[in-house]
Amino acid sequence: MTDRLTAGDTAPDFSLASDTEEQVSLADLRGKKVIVYFYPAAMTPGCTKQACDFSESLDSLRGAGYEVLGVSKDKPAKLAKFRERDALTLTLLSDEDLAVHQAYGAYDTKKLYGKEVEGVIRSTFVIDEEGKVELAQYNVKATGHVAKLRRDLGLD
């Protein structure tokens, strides 16, 4: 079982390639609040719903001082297709070797159809301006998650 992050922990730093092949580093976002969410795979129904919900909410999240980063093990080219296909406006990051997933406890043994498998645990982290974890949510639902997160953050 991977160690899970909790509120008050220092968020593990990372630098990953985006869907536009740019490097995005958590350290470069110091001074902003950042929502980092991990999802299993681009262009699957649940992940599409979640990404679209984040995109639709992005202007108001940014207005409240949050940046949003979606992280998966997909290659940047697949992420670019995902962004174009679904008109996504958030930044999508590629973590092909799963190192960042593991640092955040978002890749571990989970139950899938009654069997134990290794896989991505749909997770969301809110990181404050100093790089500390403000909120760590594991095993979140794809549908309705953004609305719940907004409520948890006191935005709705």
52 is catalytic: no
Residues ≥6 apart with Cβ < 8 Å to 13: 25, 26, 27, 131
Residues ≥6 apart with Cβ < 8 Å to 156: 147, 150
Using DSSP's 3-state secondary structure scheme, residue 115 falls into strand
CA separation for the pair 146, 130 (Å, rounded)? 23
Catalytic, out of 11, 34, 36, 47: 47
Active site residues: 47
